[in-house]
Structure 1
Amino acid sequence: MAWGVALWSLATLLTPWAANHSTLALLAIRAFFGLAEGVALPSMSTLSSRWFPTHERASAVAVSMAGFHLGNVVGLILTPIMMSSLGVSSPFTFFSSLGLVWLTTWVYGVTTNPQDSPFISKSELRLIQDGKSESSVKKNKFPPLRHLLSKLPTWAIIFANITNNWGYFVLLSWMPVYFKTVFNVNLKQAAWFSAVPWGTMAISGYIAGAASDRLIKAGYSLTLVRKIMQSIGFIGPGIALLCLNYANSAVTAAVYITAALSLSSFSQAGFLLNIQDIAPQCAGFLHGIANSAGTFAAIVSTIGTGYFVQWLGSFQAFLTLTAALYFITAVFWNLYATGERVF
């Protein structure tokens, strides 16, 4: 994680220089940024599976992901302001500096395993260890890739990641264009419309995590809880996107988009945590596999949305297609996902 943050902060800092130098240099720096940033979520899976008991893990991940969502809010709001007042390169310098400041705290304050931390008490360590299921504590041989991909619960996670990233990046990348095209809202206003949903995701994600942990403490099975949360995380956004087709104003559209993104954050207590349930010893590796597939889906959706809209004839048709993808994956998830350890 530390190396990843250091390298992607450096890539962020060098982006204005690369843009001024050549298109090839810019593409190389952004590719380097993506490679470095790719360690973040798998590292989070590994750390949360080791540092938190099962009945607190959803809340812990929700807090972590809240920072992820709020980063979008800060970026969407501050970047235009900084560019207009301090220059084009100022946001890159500012955000890369934040990464390096964070890095100093992380390096000296975080360990991979709680038993190696000088800041943890014996009682807290005992709480973490006692809160893990017997199957998650048991150590097995690291499974080969072929074995991981031979199980349907793995594919339930992979397909869920693909669908989640498809919808997420469509909304993240194309909503300013959507508001401009459909409602003729200028880009400055669209930035505010687009920023609001990410803030609500931080709140709804925490609600999902807290509800998930409460259900587990109440005795409900991990399988049932993960299926409930993921069903909300896919069926909810699907319905919201269908409703978006009938929005007759920018404000109404913003409400539906906010609902879609807010409900999608329930996936944090679904497939994102399920990675740690079925493969506690190799959660980071499995997350990397699933996230690679999800990243490919994000690339296709981000680049291809314009072509899909042109081919289908409207944004509304593309939103309907995305809603259908949510529904189909929800069915697959409920058929094949499990909260039991598989690997």
Structure 2
Amino acid sequence: MNSTLSLNRPVRNYTLGSFKNPKLIEARPSRHQLRSHLIDFSKLKWFGNVNSRTGSSVQQQLRDYSCESRRITSRRIRVSSNDAQFGSFPNKGGAESSSFAEFITSERVKVVAMLALSLALCNADRVVMSVAIVPLSLAHGWSRSFSGIVQSSFLWGYLISPIAGGTLVDYYGGKAVMACGVALWSLATFLTPWAAENSLLALLFARAMLGVAEGVALPCMNNMIARWFPSTERARAVAMAMAGFQLGNAIGLTLSPILMSQGGIFGPFVIFGLCGFLWVLVWLSATSSTPDRSPQISKYELDYIMNKRQKSHAVESKPKTKMIPPFRRLLSKMPTWSLIVANAMHSWGFFVILSWMPIYFNSVHHVDLRQAAWFSAVPWCMMALTGYLAGLWSDTLIRNGTSITLTRKIMQSIGFVGPAVALVGLTAAKTPSTASAWLSLAVGLKAFSHCGFLVNLQEIAPHYSGVLHGLSNTAGTFAAIIGTVGAGFFVELVGSFQGFLLLTSLLYFLAALFYIKFSTGERVNFDESADS
């Protein structure tokens, strides 16, 4: 009952000094915060001694506010200090942009924080093998090319699930599908030690199941953000979620050697698997698939989200009733292909760097496994930071009047051209520190892609963002398999990582040109099959 209510009605501002000086009794519109239980009209009788007409008006107005306050607090809604922050609506009915403090303490940010944690676990579980592959290769006598096949087994499963997972996400919502995905990939991670000790086939199957389960993670993230965030905040939200994704790389690469030294080669698999089961319990009990189903959200934040979503024609809160999406119409539009090409190139670079950089530092710069993991982890921390900064800049550009289309093209150009230039510098590095600096620059600038094609998925087709992400992820997985396996064969044939890095740089340039040519930030009509 001690909640402070911010009532969005003009109040005339009076002070005792203003009654002593009649020239100052001019009304000024302002917003006052009144504690509804502290209004005592018996102490307001002195107003009548100054000016009976003015005093009675003020008393009547205060009574109105008191009654309105009691009506608001009597409703069965959660009223908190955040309510006042989100209760600021302009007279025309739209919601104003929230401040950083309001944004960071809101219920929707709690949702994106849980998404970030799930994506951190997602990458930590997959990156463990990038460190474990070195002692496993030595123990079993695997060649570089066969090591690439073992690492790519994750991608075999990842190839299967994104389209089906994206369709399920659009139909059932992100909450349920994400919970199932995390539970399954945590089980696969937890059972990896048992599989590796039994047979190579069992190990490959466990890693493939990990890929199947993790294929739903990014479509679920996109679906939840599209439902919880207005368009002016989505780049920031995606950047926050993807910061967790990149920090998962850093966590996996840095903790894995430490856990291996304490608990054996399979220690990290057990620890990360158990963390995933714990996350599922918190996710199911603390989040909702849409804002209007959340018991924790305040009325004012809900109004803010719904008003903004109505303005930007965002995705409806109800799940799709049509189970099979219109694949032919989706693939008939060039903006769809711009997303597919962008995701394919993004995945190529991502998995090549993720899978091969520990081996690169170990073989090219001759550092031990723990140092190699640290050198490989630093760039992912940089990516988490630059990704959030890119999200802030992207949202600021849109709020200041830059078109969504131009904003996405700027972000994507930086996200592809920047790494292309940095990888050329990496090939000329002579020391591990210099190589890590160039790699950090490449991966850090790569984060701008998250505010390019990754947000663009929600904008061109919010109802099909899940399946579009699935389609582009499938193409990205093909590219990642080719890049991961191809890097091993390329190094065996040519005897150098540098040539493969230069090839990757060229592909980055070509993908940037394709996205600039064919992408758009506008809604695309997928109800017609004509070319856009």
TM-score, structure 2 as length reference:
0.63
The residue that corresponds to 1:105 in the other structure is 282
8 Å contact from structure 1 (residues 136, 341) kept in 2:
no
CA distance in 1, matches of 2:509, 2:444: 17
Q: 1:252 aligns with which of 434, 445, 449?
A: 434
The residue that corresponds to 1:65 in the other structure is 242
8 Å contact from structure 1 (residues 135, 341) kept in 2:
no
Deviates more, 1:180-189 or 1:250-259: 180-189
Matched residue type, 1:40: A
Query: Number of aligned pairs?
Result: 343
CA distance in 1, matches of 2:289, 2:213: 19
Given the alignment of the two structures, is residue 42 of structure 1 paired with residue 219 of structure 2, yes or no? yes
1:217 to 1:75, Cα distance in 2 relative to 1, 3 A: same
8 Å contact from structure 2 (residues 232, 398) kept in 1:
yes
Given the alignment of the two structures, is residue 129 of structure 1 paired with residue 306 of structure 2, yes or no? yes
Q: CA deviation at 1:187?
A: 2.2
8 Å contact from structure 2 (residues 226, 315) kept in 1:
no
Given the alignment of the two structures, is residue 239 of structure 1 paired with residue 416 of structure 2, yes or no? no
Deviates more, 1:121-130 or 1:164-173: 121-130
CA distance in 2, matches of 1:307, 1:261: 24
1:159 to 1:254, Cα distance in 2 relative to 1, 3 A: same
Q: CA deviation at 1:134?
A: 4.0
The residue that corresponds to 2:395 in the other structure is 213
CA distance in 1, matches of 2:233, 2:381: 23
Q: 1:169 aligns with which of 330, 341, 351?
A: 351
CA distance in 1, matches of 2:259, 2:484: 25
Superposed, 1:143-158 pairs within 5 Å as 143-158=325-340
Q: 2:206 aligns with which of 18, 29, 41?
A: 29
The residue that corresponds to 2:516 in the other structure is 334
The residue that corresponds to 1:299 in the other structure is 481
CA distance in 2, matches of 1:194, 1:160: 24
**Cα offsets for 1:71-96 (capped at 9, x unmatched):** 11111111111111122332111101
Given the alignment of the two structures, is residue 16 of structure 1 paired with residue 210 of structure 2, yes or no? no
Given the alignment of the two structures, is residue 160 of structure 1 paired with residue 160 of structure 2, yes or no? no
CA distance in 2, matches of 1:184, 1:107: 46
CA distance in 2, matches of 1:137, 1:23: 45
The residue that corresponds to 2:365 in the other structure is 183
**Cα offsets for 1:120-170 (capped at 9, x unmatched):** 122111211222344435799965001001111001001000000101111
Matched residue type, 2:231: T
8 Å contact from structure 2 (residues 257, 369) kept in 1:
no
Unaligned segments of structure 1, at least 5 residues: none
Aligned residue for 2:314, secondary structure, equals: helix
Higher relative contact order (CA 8 A, sep 6+): 1
CA distance in 2, matches of 1:24, 1:52: 43
Deviates more, 1:60-69 or 1:87-96: 87-96
TM-score, structure 1 as length reference:
0.96
Deviates more, 1:151-160 or 1:17-26: 17-26
CA distance in 2, matches of 1:169, 1:72: 11
CA distance in 1, matches of 2:425, 2:263: 40
CA distance in 1, matches of 2:203, 2:401: 52
Aligned residue for 1:236, secondary structure, equals: helix
The residue that corresponds to 2:74 in the other structure is none
Aligned residue for 1:287, secondary structure, equals: helix
RMSD: 1.6
Whose helix fraction is larger, Structure 1's or Structure 2's?
Answer: 1
Matched residue type, 2:314: S
